[in-house]
Structure 1
Amino acid sequence: MPRLLLTGANGFVGKILTVRLQQAGFHVTALSGNSTPVDSLADEHLIGDIRDANAMAHAVAQAKPDYVVHLAAISHVPTSFKDPLLTWQTNVMGSMNLLEAIKLHAPQAFVLFPSSSEVYGAAFKSANSVDENTTPQPLNPYAASKVAAESAFREYFRQGVKGVIARPFNHIGAQQSADFVTASFARQIALIEAGKQAPILKVGNLDAVRDFLDVQDVCSAYIELLKLADKPGHPSCLNIASGHSRKIREVLDLLLSLSSTKIEVELDPERLRPSDIPVAVGNATLLRETTGWQPQIPLQDTLRELLDYWREQARHAS
């Protein structure tokens, strides 16, 4: 059974990916950055801060991975504006620490680095959909740190580390933090239905257009990308995208249609991001041609599951 080290295993995607990896036949060692009990079903658990080079060396030596998936990151854009130093230390130096540990202690391991569609930034303004040849033009500290981390991975690939970079577009689903737009909508609707919030749903920019994916579809793409370990000459970077554009207003309307409660929508200026771009849609032709992957889960199904999740949370909210 191939051994896989998963960083960021205690996060939104990490918890879901752990189960999917096990179903795909991997022995999963979960690495998380805090000392609290790890909420993960992984086969093994390790604690280590990716900003600590010695901790990463120890973790990789102990895990003895054949594969590594590096999810650990500061991924919330507003947080990256508030604390850019932490963002860069985590996303860039953390990646460097992990890469150096892999080079020294698991040189045969295949590494998957999920970057982000945020790296394209201002490039979205000049294209209907971006592909991997589009030059990144990051517009926030999170995106800039991901571009820098990609550069680190490419350098280690040049030195002989095997791996691939993914650029996933907006992926959503149950368990995602309410810091993110669709989960925020679903949480507010659930609280309003439960009588725990006034019937006013606060929103940011509803005219922005985004490319939404179910987190399960993204996890499926990650598993397909791991199979490239046995296929020399594969692309070094691939988008994960639906290729379909949806206004955030449309997503909100779909969520509201799943509720029978009368809800008023109100703009909250604090939810407006300083670098919001009007349209962000991805071209995943390369991924489809390389692996055969295509998204399978309709957005309506994703939103229904998301809302049901927050309804359950609202029942237990004080």
Structure 2
Amino acid sequence: MARILLTGANGFVGKVLQRRLLKSNHEVVGTVASPPASAELECDYQVMNICDRAQVEAVIQRVKPTHLVHLAAVSNVAVSFKQPLLTWHANVIGTLNLMEELKAHAPECFTLFVSSSEVYGESFKSGQLLDENATCVPMNPYAASKLAAEHAVMQYLRQGMPGVVVRPFNHIGPGQSADFVTASFARQIAWIEAGLQPPVLKVGNLDASRDFLNVHDVCEAYAMLLDANRDQLEHRMYNIASGKSRQIRSVLQALLAEATVPIIVQTDPDRLRPSDIPLAAGANARIKEAVGWVPTTPLAQTVRDILDYWRGQALLEPPD
């Protein structure tokens, strides 16, 4: 049994991951920026601002983790353009604070640093599945800060601290913010079904293709990497990817197939952001070889779960 410190435990992925780790009987201590509602966390938690070095030191000393999963970050691309200083400070300095305190107080702690497929950026323009050796050319402050944080973590790994960096591709599921495309579609469908919105679903660019994953499959990959023997992990960098792409249009069609009322799809100029990257998908041979991970959840099940989540939300709150 591991003693796992999970930053960002109250986020979309954090909530799913804590349940997955507790299922394996690990001891999990989550960190949150502010005290959560009592029902939101199933694990023990500590209030910690990763940008506050003293708070980080206190938590590391108190928990003495055997493993760290670092999810906490400014992860919204739009926010990263509006608040670049906040993004860089949280994503880079926050990560450095954690690594410095681990080095000082828990140097044998295994770090799983969660980066992002966004770091590949312009390399996706090749139209090929990208593996971990592809050149990283970030196209936004979020991606650039994540790449910088990767380099920072790698310096500690080169000094002998154990750990890996993962680059997950687009993961979706219940509880994700409606700022993200699949959740936005599902929320609108749920609101239409509930009579809270006219039967018109507004969309942006549907032609782009992305490597979509169920959040539970992504968390399974993290858990398998944490449970792996150190000699299984020949590499320090792993894509979390399905190895194939889907048009955003096909995800919308899968959601519409679950709708209970007729819906008109309408392009909204305000949402139309012609993509510089028509296709973004990753190769997963490395993680498959290391720990045997492959995604297993069908898209139909994923979209059904997302839509059911938003149907529940429609009963609780009015539309914006």
| TM-score with structure 2 setting the length | 0.96
Alpha-carbon separation, structure 2, partners of 1:78 and 1:275: 14
Alpha-carbon separation, structure 2, partners of 1:65 and 1:163: 13
Q: Does residue 13 of structure 1 match 2:13? A: yes
Query: Contact 2:10–2:36 at 8 Å: present in 1 too?
Result: no
Deviations 1:55-105 (A, max 9, x none): 111111111100000000111111111111111111111101111111111
Shift of 1:14: 0.3
Shift of 1:115: 0.6
Q: How does 1:26-105 map to 2 (within 5 A)?
A: 26-37=26-37, 39-42=40-43, 44-105=44-105
Q: CA 1:234/1:25 → structure 2, altered by over 3 Å: closer, same or farther?
A: farther
Letter aligned with residue 294 of structure 1: V
Query: Contact 1:163–1:229 at 8 Å: present in 2 too?
Result: no
Shift of 1:193: 0.6
- 3-state SS of paired residue (1:139): coil
- 3-state SS of paired residue (2:81): helix
Deviations 1:218-273 (A, max 9, x none): 01100111134532762100101111211001100110111131212222233344
Alpha-carbon separation, structure 1, partners of 2:5 and 2:149: 18
Alpha-carbon separation, structure 2, partners of 1:229 and 1:162: 11
- 3-state SS of paired residue (2:296): coil
Shift of 1:45: 1.1
Q: CA 1:36/1:308 → structure 2, altered by over 3 Å: closer, same or farther?
A: closer
Alpha-carbon separation, structure 1, partners of 2:27 and 2:298: 30
Question: Paired residue for 1:248?
Answer: 248
Q: 263-272 or 25-34, which moves further after superposition?
A: 263-272
Alpha-carbon separation, structure 2, partners of 1:122 and 1:167: 16
Question: Paired residue for 2:161?
Answer: 161
Q: 255-264 or 60-69, which moves further after superposition?
A: 255-264
Query: Contact 1:110–1:161 at 8 Å: present in 2 too?
Result: yes
Alpha-carbon separation, structure 1, partners of 2:21 and 2:204: 35
Letter aligned with residue 257 of structure 2: S
Query: Contact 1:228–1:234 at 8 Å: present in 2 too?
Result: no
Letter aligned with residue 258 of structure 1: E
Question: Paired residue for 1:119?
Answer: 119
Q: CA 1:41/1:146 → structure 2, altered by over 3 Å: closer, same or farther?
A: same
Alpha-carbon separation, structure 1, partners of 2:192 and 2:98: 43
Q: Does residue 280 of structure 1 match 2:272? A: no
Q: How does 1:198-217 map to 2 (within 5 A)?
A: 198-217=198-217
Query: Contact 1:124–1:279 at 8 Å: present in 2 too?
Result: yes
Letter aligned with residue 222 of structure 1: Y
Q: Does residue 224 of structure 1 match 2:224? A: yes
Shift of 1:276: 4.2
Letter aligned with residue 42 of structure 2: L
Query: Contact 2:110–2:161 at 8 Å: present in 1 too?
Result: yes
Structure 1 unpaired stretches of 5+:
none
Letter aligned with residue 282 of structure 1: G
Query: Contact 1:51–1:97 at 8 Å: present in 2 too?
Result: yes
Query: Contact 1:173–1:306 at 8 Å: present in 2 too?
Result: yes
| TM-score with structure 1 setting the length | 0.96
Shift of 1:278: 0.7
Q: 195-204 or 288-297, which moves further after superposition?
A: 195-204
Question: Paired residue for 1:185?
Answer: 185
Deviations 1:158-204 (A, max 9, x none): 12221000011001001111111100100010001101112121112
Alpha-carbon separation, structure 1, partners of 2:31 and 2:234: 27
Query: Contact 2:205–2:275 at 8 Å: present in 1 too?
Result: no
Query: Contact 1:9–1:30 at 8 Å: present in 2 too?
Result: yes
Alpha-carbon separation, structure 2, partners of 1:156 and 1:238: 17
Structure 2 unpaired stretches of 5+:
none
